[in-house]
Amino acid sequence: AQSVTQLDSHVSVSEGTPVLLRCNYSSSYSPSLFWYVQHPNKGLQLLLKYTSAATLVKGINGFEAEFKKSETSFHLTKPSAHMSDAAEYFCVVSPNTGGFKTIFGAGTRLFVKA
Amino acid sequence: DVKVTQSSRYLVKRTGEKVFLECVQDMDHENMFWYRQDPGLGLRLIYFSYDVKMKEKGDIPEGYSVSREKKERFSLILESASTNQTSMYLCASRGQGMVGNYGYTFGSGTRLTVV
């Protein structure tokens, strides 16, 4: 069975400060992990994905995430927040062996203060 | 640029109407999905299709049906719209093969209001 938990429903940072959005997962097999971003009234856009290659994954817009198997975590980070980063972020887990059971986290809304 | 296009951004329908939500992708993807997104409930899978004319129920199929007559088009049908189907509807597509090699590509969403 798989599950994904986004530990914070809301995160607020000041512009120019680091961003940390936390995600823990559980999976009975080797998972693929994704982060998506959703701006208001828009669809979800893929930020980055982990597929059992390098554990540190770089994505678009300066975001990156590190897969830590021992901690079952896949936290999303960015060194310096920009106003345009204000959005909702979803952590997603899928089985790496095929199949269609994709689990979406509940989402973390990121607020960026000027 | 690859795209998933949903035909309407905003839609208002009356209770009891039959509603069609259309989704078209230009990536030659085999797999297509319909989700609904509600505050506090996240994304929930309604139906998906892994090939033309093939469909599978997701987690909340009640009150919905789907149609996939062509590879690029996946339609969601609300047979008799009800107010509890007011929601944001998201279409997505994904290529074949190991799931890990493909992320989803989402459309911009259709915000449906049933009055």
Partner-chain residue, chosen from B31, B105, B108, that has the shortest CB–CB distance to A42: B108
User: What is d(CA A36, CA A23) in angstroms, rounded to the nearest whole number?
Assistant: 12
Instruction: At B43, list the tokens.
Output: 């994304």
Query: Mean pLDDT over residues B66-87, rounded?
Result: 96
Q: How confident is the model at residue B100 (pLDDT cuts 50, 70, 90)?
A: very low
How many CB atoms lie under 10 A from the CB of residue B94?
23
Task: Look at residue B25 and tell me whether its pLDDT is greater than 50.
Answer: yes
DSSP per-residue string spanning B8-25: -SEEEE-TT--EEE-EEE
Residue A62: helix, strand or coil by DSSP?
helix
User: Is B13 an interface residue toward A (CB < 8 Å)?
Assistant: no
- Lowest average pLDDT, out of A11-20, A50-59, A85-94, goes to A50-59
Shortest distance between the Cα of B10 and any Cα of chain A, in A, equals: 10
Residues 94-113 of B with CB under 8 A from A: 97-101, 103-109, 111
Question: What is the per-residue pLDDT for B91?
Answer: 96
Question: What is the per-residue pLDDT for B28?
Answer: 87
Residue A97: helix, strand or coil by DSSP?
coil
Task: Look at residue A23 and tell me whether its pLDDT is greater than 90.
Answer: yes
> With b meaning 16 or more CB within 10 Å and e meaning fewer, what string describes B14-23?
eeeeebebbb
DSSP per-residue string spanning A17-54: S-EEE-EEEEESSPEEEEEEEE-TTS-EEEEEEE-SS-
Q: How confident is the model at residue A99 (pLDDT cuts 50, 70, 90)?
A: low
CB–CB of B21/B110 below 8 Å? yes
Higher pLDDT pick, B26 / B2: B26
Shortest distance between the Cα of B107 and any Cα of chain A, in A, equals: 5
Instruction: At B27, list the tokens.
Output: 């990536």
Closest C-alpha to A96, from A3, A28, A6: A28
Residue numbers in B near A104 (CB within 8 A): 42-43
DSSP per-residue string spanning chain B: ---EEES-SEEEE-TT--EEE-EEESS--SEEEEEEEETTTEEEEEEEEEETTEEEE-S--TTEEEEEEETTEEEEEESS--GGG-EEEEEEEE-SS-GGG---EE---EEEEE-
Query: Mean pLDDT over residues B99-112, rounded?
Result: 81
Quote the DSSP letter at residue A107. Answer: -
User: Is A73 an interface residue toward B (CB < 8 Å)?
Assistant: no
Query: Mean pLDDT over residues A76-91, rounded?
Result: 97
Question: What is the per-residue pLDDT for A27?
Answer: 81
Q: How confident is the model at residue A98 (pLDDT cuts 50, 70, 90)?
A: low
User: What is d(CA B110, CA B9) in angstroms, rounded to the nearest whole number?
Assistant: 4
Task: Look at residue B80 and tell me whether its pLDDT is greater than 80.
Answer: yes
Q: Do A43 and B108 touch (CB under 8 A)?
A: yes
The whole-chain average pLDDT of chain A stands at 90
